[in-house]
Amino acid sequence: MKLQYYLEQFDELKALYQLVKHEFSTKTLIHHNWNHIQRDLARAIIIGEVEEVNMKILLAGVLLHDIGRLHPEFGDDHYEVGAKIAPKFLKDAGFTDGEVNAVIHCVKSHGLRGLEKPRSIEAKVGYDVDVLSCSVGYVGVARVFDFFMREVNLGIKEMMEIPSGKRGKRQNFYTETVRRIGGRGFQKAKRFWQELLLELEEEEQRVKEVIPDYKED
C-alpha cells in the first residue's frame, strides 16, 4: 500500500504526520531530516505489511523515532529526549493511552543505542528499519559518512574509532523479512568497514616510517 492509504485509514496518524512534518520543517538537520523520515516510512510500510504488524503503531513510531534530535536543548541522548516529548505529539493527534505506550516503546528501542530491547513486533520492525538506513550496502555506508562528517564534524579516523553502537546485546536484525532483503547489503557494508580500517592502518604505518611524529586524520 501507499503511505496515503494509511493516512486516510487512521485520522490520528494523519494528524501526527502533519504535526511531525511541521516540526521537522522548523529545523535544519543535515542527515536526520524529513527526507530520512520519509525513507524510513517507506521501508516500514514494505516490511510491516509482510510481517503483518499494527501499521498505525509502527508508522507512528517511525514518524517520532528521531524527534528527540530536533531538541538538543533537552539533552544529548535523542532516545531519552524523544521518549519525553513524543507523548505530547501523540496525545495532540488523538492517540489513546495504550497506543501512546506502544509507540513510545518503539521510540525507545528503535536503534543500536536504544534504551531497551524491542519486544513488540512493531518495535522489532522499527529497529530493523533504522538499522537498514545506516548499516546496509554502500548507500548505508555513505549516509554514515554524511552524518559523522557533516552533522557531527568528525574526520575519518575519529569516526572509525567510535565503538559499536550496540547498547547491550542486540541482534543485527529481528525480522526474517529484513534478514532476507538486507542480509547481503549488511555483509557488503561490513566488508567495506573492515577493508577501510585495514587501509587506514597501512597508510598510517607507511607515513610514520618516514615521519614518526605524524598525527593521523
Amino acid code (one letter) for 211: I
Q: Kindly state whether residue 190 falls inside one of the protein's structural domains.
A: yes
pLDDT surpassing 70 at residue 126: yes
With cut-offs at 50, 70 and 90, classify the pLDDT of residue 121.
very high
Q: Kindly state whether residue 215 falls inside one of the protein's structural domains.
A: no
With cut-offs at 50, 70 and 90, classify the pLDDT of residue 11.
very high
| Domain total of the chain | 1
Whole-structure pTM value: 0.87
**What is the per-residue pLDDT for 71?**
94
Q: Which residues contact 144 (CB under 8 A, 6 or more apart)?
A: 134, 159
pLDDT surpassing 70 at residue 39: yes
Burial readout 172-206 (b: 16 or more C-beta within 10 A, e: otherwise) = bbbbebbeebbeebbeebeeeeeeeeeeeeeeeee
pLDDT surpassing 80 at residue 168: no
pLDDT surpassing 90 at residue 172: no
Least confident among 40-49, 86-95, 145-154, 159-168: 159-168
Average pLDDT across the chain, whole number: 90
Are 91 and 82 a contacting pair, CB within 8 Å? no
CATH number at residue 98: 1.10.3210.10
**What is the per-residue pLDDT for 144?**
85
d(CA 180, CA 115): 26
Q: Kindly state whether residue 22 falls inside one of the protein's structural domains.
A: yes
Structure confidence by residue, pLDDT tens digits, 135-167: 788 888 888 888 888 888 888 888 887 776 666
**What is the per-residue pLDDT for 156?**
84
Q: Kindly state whether residue 217 falls inside one of the protein's structural domains.
A: no
Q: Kindly state whether residue 216 falls inside one of the protein's structural domains.
A: no
What is the span of the domain harbouring residue 96? Answer: 3-210
pLDDT surpassing 70 at residue 28: yes
